[in-house]
Amino acid sequence: MRQMPALATAIFLATAVAQEASAIEPEAGPPVAVASVTVQDLDGVEVDLKDALTTGEIVVLNFWATWCAPCKQEMPTLAALDEIFEGRGVRVLTLAMDRAGPAALRAFMAEVGAERLAILHDPRMAVSGPYAVRGLPITIVVDGSGNEVFRHAGFADWSTPAVVRFLEGLLEQAA
Give the other-Cβ count within 10 Å of 110's Cβ: 10
Contact 88, 171 (CB under 8 A): yes
Residue 20 — pLDDT band, cuts 50, 70, 90? low
Q: What is the pLDDT of residue 92?
A: 98
pTM: 0.88
> Given a cut of 70, is residue 57 above it in pLDDT?
yes
pLDDT tens string 128-168: 999 999 999 999 999 999 999 999 999 999 999 999 999 99
- What is the H or E stretch that residue 152 is in? strand 147-153
Alpha-carbon distance of 143 to 75, in angstroms, equals: 21
Mean pLDDT of the chain: 90
**38, 40, 50 from 20: Cα distances, Å:** 34, 32, 32
